[in-house]
Structure 1
């Protein structure tokens, strides 16, 4: 199971079926992102696709009849209307139309009636209706999917479409389970099941005999694990998202002082960057050491005896040797990224903050932790946002502790002119009354008496990396693959008894309210161990986006699909 391969095969199919000759790819805002996550512009040029246009933007009416037009669109009413208008007055010689999901027959009939010039050669459904982030992770780019703690209707509809597409592209007809007690997870499971039943001919895949278990789709709720998205991360991919923000595999470095023009926005894609593919799950110290090793190899060739002992030395080295910069543009990019990560880590004292975060998450020691939190959040050198996250973790862990002093901590935040409404909203969203099970159960943390610190030697300025916390998802997957009874914690959407004795071989996990890169790491580790898991979510969170999700969900703010990410969907960034 590989979501990048699935999307690539669909796009290659489109380019191949259009035949040889010059082609244009006509997309909408969302399919632009879908394509750009799987292919670079140079990759598409090799498939004779020389132009890219958005159907929902202003376009010239100049006729270009020698071009073939590949239309890759989501099957929305707006896109059908825009395409109908295009076909009434065709700009290109021929049209090959591909919808990213199931399209109603009435819409196909509408398009046929508009094609008076008979310029349409193909109309097909392909099921690439999601963003392939890594080979085993996908996102629907739906931030803030809840309003007053319930699904926003448009977000629910889009989630059903996205999950239907992932199942069709993987050719899976799964047993569907959801987190018991979660209305939102149950409602999504119910509607996906209804869609599968409605389109039963599309889901007529292989059968499972001799006791083999069918694949499993398990729908979880973010509110059951609010701790994971609040913690600072130390693996490369997760750390970049936490501190710099990854949007559609792109990182904006334009605000970094002295950044070269060509690196103001960089692409971090495992498909287009071999170094990133090999190291996205490495921790901060390891990634620095591996870049240092590449520089030392070049030094031997250049017969340079200077020592590269720190991240600052790396930057100086790259600037001194233009030929290295030219030869190793990828390494230069990563030097700039980890340099900024290092600067932010030092400036925000994240080693100190992260150590306390991990202690709160993994060890119950109320009085000592309360005093340490007071000391840190009173320190003006610690950012307000990091201070609020520490208070949030404390409030979640000690919500019902006899001596809980959340109000005292909030008064310190208030004195520093920080927002205090986040904590009540978080408790409303995922306090003990809202969570199913207990993320701070003593059984889970009995071995976490002491934090483990990984000391990475060989690179100055990269200190101890904290790796104690284990996300709830990892334990859930371990239960699944051990063949444990999942009822009633994860009931099936159907009342039928599932007649199989073995654990599933293929599992798709979808998290309502967003997944995280720490959970992606857990899935990667499961796959490395021989299991088959794909992780998806309504969006991919860092701590800031998770806090926004909580505020939107509890305060009834209207759903606005991908508005905050609009600039990353433009043709210019394809």
Structure 2
């Protein structure tokens, strides 16, 4: 259950089957990202792949018959047409064609008819149709997937093919649960179920032994937990994404004052950076200590490098210099990133903001919290987008409170030229389930739920900045404890009852996952469970708000008293 290794195995297999000799890798926009997330360019060069081209962009007409061409593309209609034209007039000596997912036989026939020079040596399906971010995290790179709270058809089709690719790469045929009451989750579950049945020969994996439950595909809806993407993050990977934005393992630092030219864009990859791999889930306090230790270790090695007095010293220097140079790059890169994070935390008063955010989502204290939100929203030192996040969290928490102060907060935000229209948009986006369950008051009659809430509250006391527990983690814990979730997450088809919970779960969030949820999955995996998390994209708060705007455009307006008041305030 490692999505990075799955992709790497497929790419290694493609290169190996092409044999020895110089090779070119011909890709499309999406497969370029898939490959770059799994291997660095240096690693590809070591595998005798010397050129990289895009089939969907301008290319040279120069014929290079001495090169073997490895084609790795998605099986889209546009790509089949482009590849057909390529094969009619081949530039390279031989072609090894690999599609990132299932391809119809009719398209194979079309390509065969175009290969008049018989330059094609191999045509295969490989199921690397997703971006592997961490070992247990993947994305489909769909920034916005809904319109009028329903699927964009292209996004639905891409989600089906991406998830099918994940399942086939992990060699599992799962039972499928989906969020009850979510039309988009049910649609996705049904299309995946139908595809698995249609391609039954591909899914003929050995069933679980001893009556164990089959693996589970769990389909969730972001609208059931719009809180998690809005919270300030405190683990390294999540903080970098929230404050600097990670895109395809790359971080743009060009706006950072005084950054060296070679660090204007840095790569943060768990596969290519040992320090990052070890610390991506560390909290900010731990990171500060770890980077200090790394710098001290580097300084010690730097002193050793300077001591060259004998032939043996020279030999040792030559042997260790590459590792020294690599360590130097690692230190400089992470020092710049962590320094920028520290500066932004201080400048934006994120410690103070985060404490209030966590307090609002974990504890009901309307009067005191409203006063704190009012105070911070009015202060110029508070970033306007952070002030908006506070108002969004408050408005969702206290939407139905008798003394709800959202209208007054909107007026304060409007005075600072904030994006007031996003508050009613968020209240249209949040699902009915989230309205009733996310901030629900526990009934005394529900003794089991009450006990769980009390325990959860006590655990949160340890760290005021990480009290919040995402919905995903709660659901996964319920499943692994063998508790029934049938009411909220039914199966798409009839599945017999099993004595034990599933050993493997692939969880997919329509509307995007977050690094906080990836951290929750990481913690469960450390306890011995086997979970993979995926999403249509990986959100920080800004990208999530873009998702909310896109999803609610064209959505029927809910004519509730409170929403009308919010619209009036924001449009006044």
Q: TM-score, normalised by structure 2?
A: 0.90
Alignment partner of 1:517 is 2:515: yes
Looking at secondary structure, tell me which structure has more helix per residue. 2
Q: Secondary structure at the match of 2:69?
A: strand
Unpaired stretches in structure 1, ≥5 consecutive residues:
305-322, 455-464, 558-574
Question: Are 2:427 and 1:418 aligned?
Answer: no
Q: Does 1:479 align with 2:478?
A: yes
Partner of 2:447: none
- Aligned match of 2:358: 358
CA contact (8 A) 1:176 1:217 kept: yes
The Cα of 1:337 is off from its aligned counterpart by 0.1
SS at match of 1:266: strand
Deviation at 1:498, TM superposition (A): 1.8
2:55 matched to which residue of 1? 55
Question: Counterparts in 2 of 1:157-236, with a 5 A limit?
Answer: 157-236=157-236
CA–CA separation in structure 1 for the residues paired with 2:414 and 2:199? 54
Alignment partners' CA distance in 1, 2:327 and 2:499: 55
Give the structure, 1 or 2, with the largest relative contact order (CA under 8 Å, sep 6 or more): 1
Aligned to 1:128: 128
Report the Cα offset of residue 523 of structure 1: 0.3
Deviation, structure 1 residue 261? 0.7
* Structure 1 position 417, deviation (Å): 1.1
The one-character-per-residue Cα deviations of 1:470-527 (angstroms, maximum 9, x if unpaired) are 1111111001111111212110001x24242210000000000000000000000010
Query: Using the alignment, how far apart are the partners of 1:542 and 1:256 within structure 2?
Result: 19
Change (3 A) 1:441 1:121: farther
Report the Cα offset of residue 426 of structure 1: 0.5
Contact 1:357/1:390 (8 A) holds in 2? yes
Aligned to 2:545: 547
Aligned 1:557-568 pairs, distance under 5 A:
none
Contact conserved, 1:361 with 1:440, CA < 8 A, in 2? no
Deviation by residue 1:222-253 (Cα, 9 ceiling, x = unmatched):
01111100001000000000000000010000
Separation in structure 1 between the aligned mates of residue 157 and residue 327 of structure 2, nearest angstrom = 47
Structural mapping, 1:377-456, within 5 Å: 377-430=377-430, 432=432, 437-442=437-442, 443=450, 445-446=453-454, 447-448=456-457, 452=461
Superposed CA offset, 1:257-290 (max 9, x none): 1100110000000000000000000001111111
- Say if 1:439 and 1:221 are closer, same or farther in 2 by CA, change over 3 A: farther
User: Does the CA-based 8 Å contact 2:137-2:518 persist in structure 1?
Assistant: yes
CA contact (8 A) 2:175 2:495 kept: no
Q: Distance in 2 between matches of 1:371 and 1:450?
A: 26
Find the aligned partners of 1:95 and 1:251 in 2 and give their Cα distance. Answer: 35
Distance, in Å, in 2 between the alignment partners of 1:164 and 1:450 is 38
For 2:302 and 2:207, how far apart are their aligned partners in 1?
Answer: 61
Q: Which residues of 2 match residues 322-341 of structure 1 at below 5 A? A: 327-341=327-341
**Is the CA contact (8 Å cut-off) linking 2:242 and 2:541 kept in structure 1?**
yes
CA 1:449–1:395 in structure 2 vs 1: closer, same or farther (change >3 Å)? farther
Q: Flag the 1:433–1:491 CA change in 2: closer, same or farther, 3 A.
A: closer
Q: Distance in 2 between matches of 1:550 and 1:477?
A: 25
Asked whether the equivalents of residues 439 and 472 of structure 1 are also in contact (C-alpha less than 8 Å), the reply is: no
Distance 2:516 2:391 in 1: 21
Q: How many Å separate the matches in 2 of 1:419 and 1:409?
A: 12
CA distance in 2, matches of 1:76, 1:300: 54
Asked whether the equivalents of residues 243 and 344 of structure 1 are also in contact (C-alpha less than 8 Å), the reply is: yes
Give the total of aligned pairs. Answer: 528
Q: Encode CA deviations 1:314-336: one digit per residue, 9 max, x unaligned.
A: xxxxxxxxx98774210110000
